[in-house]
Structure 1
Amino acid sequence: MDLSFPMLLVAVSCLRNVCVAIDEDCVDLGVKVESVFTIPGEAAMLTCHLDKNVTDSDIISWHKSNPDGQLSVDNRWVQVQKNIIWLLRSTLQDSGTYMCILRTADQCFKQAMVLSVNETRPEDCSRPYRPTQPLTTVANGLLFCPLYSYMAHLTKYSFKWYKGCEPLLNGDKYSNVNRDMLVIKNVALSDAGNYTCRMAFTLAGSAGYISETISCEVKDQWNLRPMVSEPINDTIKANPGSSFSKTCRVFVPGHGDHMVDVVWALDHLISLNLSDRVNQIPLGKSRVENGEWLEVLLNFTEVEKEDFYNTYRCMVFNDKGLVVANFTLLPSEPNHLLSVGLFFGSPALIFIIAVAMWRIIKIEVALLFRSSFPCLYPDPGCDGKLYDAYVAYPRSCGGAVCGGQTCRAVEEFALRILPEVLEGELGYRLFIMGRESLPGEAVADVVQQNIGKSRRLLLLYSAFSLSHPDAAESLERQLAVHAALVESTVPAILVELGELVDSTVLPKAMQYLRSRQGAVRWGRSSEEGTMDRGRASDRFWKHLRYHMPPRISQTSPPEKNFLLKI
């Protein structure tokens, strides 16, 4: 065999003083997929990966597949570290295929790798091979120097960054220019370009350097550090055996796409399987003007004792770092306040309901009681009163009809509707001025005398009946109100006809009466000029009967009244 091509050239691989050629029967692991790139004058590192732990008794040798197979170890710019070979000053002639051979006591392995030394132009400050790293606008950006494999085998090194051919300095725009990670502040579209990181190092007393160029692409989008809206590092209480859920709400400020992951975790990631008792459910995303909301639900189908006193963390991952928010789940305390509130509040609630129901049905109950137990009420004839009610209403004043049609409706109600129902159907006796009084009698005397003979005062009025000044100041109304308020001899019943009357238009005395005892409101409208009186069982008539004295037997009207009706 011709030992001149290829031959063992590094450490010449002699075992027990026996030289072995590289074409011996070794397990061939092929050619490494990744090639190594460098430029003249810079270092290159070739690593042999044989998937085996190398021991001190194992022997590794290096060979270069070229026409003469020569690789001199006398060159100070070539350093060998077991499965690594360093070429500290690469030349164009160093390009080619390199092979490492590992020999153990009973096996042999070999692997090939390719080194490409690319020639560059003097004016070109960048490396020919340029991996791409994208950045986004507005936010700060990070460029990582892709020399991790070199740094792992060196103990002393330093960095310097360039954009194009210009060295970068720490300042308002850049920081970390002396480290393997360059920070670009407030990235703009103008920051796109080629960035070169150069690492200088010392190996076994020999200096070398190596550089990598990054093609930086700037996208017109930006994202800032996410913010967790909830949970807010608090404690939450839940009842054992109940269901429970908590939403993690995260806001991602920015414009455009983002890579943000939100997960719930305990001492492990919470399951995404909905059939599990404790699981997490992504609720989706919602885009807003200056960012996006993300929501993930932590769900307990049933809370158990083992779930308490644990801290559940909402973890947010993106290229800006890790954001964590949490809450602690505690068992709910017995709600003694609720029990006390129910104990004292239930009677109060029952009382309020009872009062409300009584206000609704008291009229029905009172009328039913009157009709069922008349013996419990005193005989009305024993009080010396002649009439059950004195009816006072506004009439035509000085020949003018006050209030027009509305005033005539009040007169119709007083002269026809009231007598038909209260006298004709219910047996009450009413005194109505002009019907029971005789012509020529003094009005003041008639009013005072008959109010004193009556058990109630019925004061009829409407919104328009009080508009005429003479009606508003009628002598009859003044005497009736005086009897109700000042003398307090006769209980008054206010009957409001038509639309609801604004209290501000009422005279002061009637405002006081209305505020103290309210008014019975007649709301029926007239049809074709005739007022419908309704039935005696209607609510209005029941309300009016409730305020009237207990019903008495109907008696024949006095003789003078009878003559007036002929």
Structure 2
Amino acid sequence: MYEQILHLGKDGFLMCHLNFPKSCVLDSVKWYKDCREIEGERFTSREKKLLVQNVSAEDGGNYACRARLMHMGKQYVVLNGITVNISSTLVVDCNITDTRDNTNRRCWTVNDTLVDTYYNESKRIREGFESCAAFQEHTSCTVNITFLEVRMEDYGLPFTCRAGVSAAYIMLELPAPDFRAYLVGGLGALALVAVSAVCVYNIFKIDIVLWYRSAFRSTGTIEDGKLYDAYVLYPKPQSESQSHDVDTLVLKILPEVLEQQCGYKLFIFGRDEFPGQAVANVIDENTKLCRRLMVIIDPAWGVSFGLLKNMPEEQIAVYNALIQDGMKVILIELGKIEDYTSMPESIQYIRQKHGAIQWSGDFTEQSQCIKTRFWKKVRYHMPPQRYPPSAVQLQKRAPSNCTAGPELGSRKKNCPFMHG
């Protein structure tokens, strides 16, 4: 009966100690556990070895290897019993074949010192018991060494199994780094950084773009044949009471902020055309000279009167230019519009494709601060600024104080001059 050890969670093997002279023929080795022949995908028999994959606690117990032996024309059945223990420690066997009359000591040493002596204090590494089997011409012995704990100082030491003048040694080496773990971790970290960057950009996209334009602003002009940065399209209400807010925004606040403070050039019908020109020609010619189309919608009358359905022909010409030239559109709502179904299809298309910016001011000088969220969104959708206004002009035209609006709180603060 031999004792052998399998290590939990690892692959190991059992050795059948059936050793006979060369004149004997040994074949048909079969393995048994608790008197039952071993079967299963985890077990593979190779000559005198039984390979065991992914050792579990249930693999411990009594084993036997059985074989046929032919000797001098006669057939025999030979059997070797093995007791298997499951261990979670590292055990290394040293198998020694020696002559029967050799009395040399068989042992493990490290740095020319017996292992038990070298590790006398910690007893982390110990030499096991020796087991031998005597045969007619030789002796087969096994002596093992058990590592209960491995420390950094153990790596690189030669642990030597000695039998007289013969010796064999093992040396512990640090495990190779698992590059797959580093790769997976690196890719995971990279993905996290990318997702975080995307989230941060989506949250602060407008501020980042405006800062970039301001920091790296070009002083040249754009050679695209355009004269204006935006054409302002605003519907004409049917009564004087409805026109005040729209006229204030279009004719006073927009020029004050976008033209005087930011240096943009706007074409506003009713302000910039020459007297006597045909309306359709004015709109058709000037929309082709603009880089953006800014559409103002007032929900107080836009839905009930059917925006653009009863409006002059110049507004329809603007939308024709939009379809032909593919201009980018800035849609501004003077109030929350819940339902767009009553709007013309062109407005519905613009709302779906470009979205809308909702006005958050109160038509006073406090609404002219370009640091509010509303004006940041408008400037974000406008083309990059290339011809900054005069600083003197800004100081004269910009309001001295402004309220930051709902997004920035209600406290008073100076309105800074920002371009681009």
Same fold (TM over 0.5): no
TM-score w.r.t. the length of structure 2 is 0.44
- Structure whose alpha-carbon radius of gyration is higher: 1
TM-score after normalising by structure 1: 0.33
Higher relative CO (Cα under 8 Å, sequence separation at least 6) belongs to: 2
| Higher share in helix | 2
